[in-house]
Amino acid sequence: MFDPTSPLFPPVLPSRHGMLAVDDLHTIYWEEVGNPQGIPVVFLHGGPGAGLSPQHRRFFDPDQYRVILFDQRGAGKSLPLGECRANTTQLLVEDIERLRVMFGIEQWLVFGGSWGSTLALAYGQAHPERCLGFILRGIFLCTQAEVDWFLHGAQWFHPEVHADFVAAIPEAERGNLLQAYVNRIMSDDPAIHWPAVRAWSRFEGRRVFLLPQAEDPPSDTLDLGVGRLESHYMANLGFFGEDQLLRNMDRIAHLPAVIVQGRYDVICPPVSAWRLHQAWPGSVMNMVPDAGHGAMEKGISRALVGATEQFKRSRGFV
Q: Which residues are catalytic?
A: 114, 265, 293
How many CB atoms neighbour CB 209 within 10 A? 16
Contact present, 109 and 311 (Cβ < 8 Å): yes
For CA atoms 181, 183, 188, 190, the dihedral sign is negative
What size, in residues, is the chain? 318
Most distant pair of Cα atoms in the chain: their distance: 59
Sheet (strand 284-288) strand order: 16-21, 27-34, 65-70, 39-44, 108-113, 131-137, 257-262, 284-288
Q: How far, in Å, CA of 54 to CA of 44, rounded? A: 13
- Whether the ω angle into residue 218 lies within 30 degrees of 0, i.e. cis, is no
How many CB atoms neighbour CB 139 within 10 A? 28
